[in-house]
Amino acid sequence: MTVEIFLLGIVLLVIGLVFFSTLRTATPPLPTSPSVRQTLLAMLPDRVDGPVYELGSGWGGLARILAQRYRSVPVRGFEVSLLPWAVSRLTSIAAGPDNLFLSLRDFNNADLSDAALVVCYLTGPAMEKLRPKLEAELPPGTLVVSNTFAFKGWRAIDTRTAPDMYRTQVYLYRVD
Per-residue pLDDT for 23 more than 70? no
- Alpha-carbon span 145 to 150, nearest angstrom: 9
SS (H, E, C) the chain: CHHHHHHHHHHHHHHHHHHHHHHHHCCCCCCCCHHHHHHHHHHCCCCCCCCEEEECCCCCHHHHHHHHHCCCCCEEEEECCHHHHHHHHHHHHHHCCCCEEEEECCHHHCCCCCCCEEEECCCHHHHHHHHHHHHHHCCCCCEEEEECCCCCCCCCCEEEECCCCCCCEEEEEECC
Overall pTM surpassing 0.75 (yes/no): yes
Per-residue pLDDT for 19 more than 90? no
| pLDDT for the residue numbered 143 | 98
| pLDDT for the residue numbered 151 | 97
14 or 65: which leads in pLDDT? 65
Confidence of residue 6 (pLDDT cuts 50, 70, 90): low
Distances (CA, A) of 62 to 67, 76, 153, 175: 9, 11, 26, 22
132 or 22: which leads in pLDDT? 132
Per-residue pLDDT for 86 more than 60? yes
Per-residue pLDDT for 9 more than 80? no
Structure confidence by residue, pLDDT tens digits, 26-81: 566 678 999 999 999 999 999 999 999 999 999 999 999 999 999 999 999 999 99
Structure confidence by residue, pLDDT tens digits, 122-173: 998 999 999 999 999 999 999 999 999 999 999 999 999 999 999 999 999 9
Going along the chain from its start, the domains and CATH numbers come out as 2-174 (3.40.50.150)
| pLDDT for the residue numbered 27 | 61
